[in-house]
Amino acid sequence: MPIASSRAREYRRSAIRVLFDAAAADPDALRLEVGEPSFPTPSHIVEHAAEAARQGHTGYGPNGGLLSLRELLVDKLDRVDRIGASVDEIVVTPGGMNALYSAFSILLEPGDEVLLPTPGFPNMDEMVRLLGGVPVFYHLRAADGFLPDLDELTSLVTPRTRVMFSNSPSNPTGRVFDGGVVRDLVAFADRHDLWLLSDEVYDELVLDPATGHVPAAWFDEAGRVISIFSFSKVYAMTGWRVGYAVARGDIPQLMRSTQEPQVSCPSTISQKAAEAALTGPREPITAMRDAYAQRAALAVAVARSAGLRAYAPQGTIYMLLDVSAFGADGGLDFALDLLRDQRVSVAPGSVFGPGGAGMVRISLAAAPDTIENGINRIAAQVQRGSG
Ligand SMILES: Cc1ncc(COP(=O)(O)O)c(C=O)c1O
């Protein structure tokens, strides 16, 4: 029997999925590891999709998404992100994940290096490897407010560096980069002639009213920014799988045509649902965001009174807790012990790369009492370990 490719065999399963499966075996476990919104998809979106299916919107669509959805996205990008884009510059994909995969697949030659943040969204590391690229980590240090260090970034650039991946609002740090930081990142990409893949899937999940989302596209004069958005978290539509990329030049066309051998096209019914998300009432969307903001405030207060250092998120639906002061490394074994001893599951910091050491990520998608009890149990575990 021939063996599977080395890329496939070297693929490492996400430790968050390991925790997910272990926690699913305990019906009483408090689930703080998942990135699943705790809200169902708003009912007007579901109704619209059902009606669209009845009306026959059940066939294949264009590779890069329905024109009717892309027209609405032109308006959304203008209204929400203040990005001017034409319908041809938008590529709709099955989730933000596929937008990222498609972008990397058209940018990378084997052996090309990609600058990835740590702590950062774990799937990027494996995605780059799967496509033959080489991940190179840059740090987002807590002491620097989880902002990139341009000197470090510069020191990591080699002749093989091709893409810089950036993510704001950031998973898992919750940090929202301000205009100065985003401008510097675009200038850095310009200076070193890199593509800037800007993951902005949490654009409408800014929780801190003192800050706002700044798209990298604002500063992009050379057409090197590829922006990635998603319906998953903002509209509680994770299972519908709708995301999109916005780019200039020949990038959208390359992404569109390479959709054919990957997925053919995004789901037509899901795109109809996405249209309803864009045209329907805003209240359900802002209500979800406000609930996440309240839970973030609660989580920070509970963690601090339990003696844990918490990094208040400015955006996303996550929060990092520092467990290192008690000697815990926040790794997979720590998370599995925590699940066994305290029946609470978290995302181990180690999944976010070397910069996640000593931390765990909790999700604000859980109900407030689950968040409160879960944090108290985490504190009990680390304090027990240190004593
Ligand atoms: C930073 C970031 N980018 C992209 C995604 C992909 O989301 P989706 O494929 O559901 O759009 C996620 C999901 O958790 C994320 O956290």
Residue from 20, 124, 233 whose mutation best tests the ligand 1 pocket (most atoms within 8 A of CB): 233
Please determine, for residue 357, whether its predicted confidence score (pLDDT) is greater than 50.
yes
The verdict on domain 43-279 having CATH code 2.40.50.140 is no
Query: To the nearest whole percent, how much of the chain has pLDDT over 70?
Result: 99
Q: How far is the CA of 385 from the centre of ligand 1 (A)?
A: 33
Q: How far is the CA of 380 from the centre of ligand 1 (A)?
A: 31
pLDDT digits (tens, 9 = 90+) for 104-131: 999 999 999 999 999 999 889 999 999 9
> Mean pLDDT lowest for which of 5-19, 257-271, 285-299, 369-383?
5-19
Domain positions in the chain? 6-41+283-386, 43-279
Q: Which residues surround ligand 1 with Cβ inside 6 Å?
A: 35, 95-97, 121, 167, 171, 199, 201, 230, 232, 238, 243
Domain 6-41+283-386: CATH architecture, name and number where available: Alpha-Beta Complex (3.90)
Residue located nearest, by CA, to atom 11 of ligand 1 = 96
Cα of 35 vs its chain's centroid, Å? 9
> What is the pLDDT of the chain when averaged over all its residues?
95
Contact 123, 197 (CB under 8 A): no
Contact 73, 277 (CB under 8 A): no
More confident residue, 384 or 376: 376
Please determine, for residue 361, whether its predicted confidence score (pLDDT) is greater than 80.
yes
Query: Could you tell me the sign of the dihedral formed by the alpha carbons of 249, 204, 201, 99, in that order?
Result: negative
Q: What is the DSSP letter of 241?
A: -
Task: Phi first, then psi: give them for residue 44, nearest 5 degrees.
Answer: -65, -30
The pair of structure tokens assigned to 16 is: 């968050």
What pLDDT does residue 333 have?
92
Same fold yes or no, 6-41+283-386 and 43-279: no
Round to whole Å and give the CA distance between 86 and 254: 16
List Cα–Cα distances, 161 to 109, 110, 149, 158, in angstroms: 11, 12, 17, 5
pLDDT digits (tens, 9 = 90+) for 249-283: 999 999 999 999 999 999 999 999 999 999 999 99
Query: To the nearest whole percent, how much of the chain has pLDDT over 90?
Result: 86
Q: Give the mean model confidence (pLDDT) for residues 14-35.
A: 88
Q: How confident is the model at residue 8 (pLDDT cuts 50, 70, 90)?
A: confident
Residue located nearest, by CA, to atom 7 of ligand 1 = 96
Nearest atom of ligand 1 to the alpha carbon of 167: 1
What pLDDT does residue 387 have?
46
Q: Give the mean model confidence (pLDDT) for residues 308-335.
A: 92
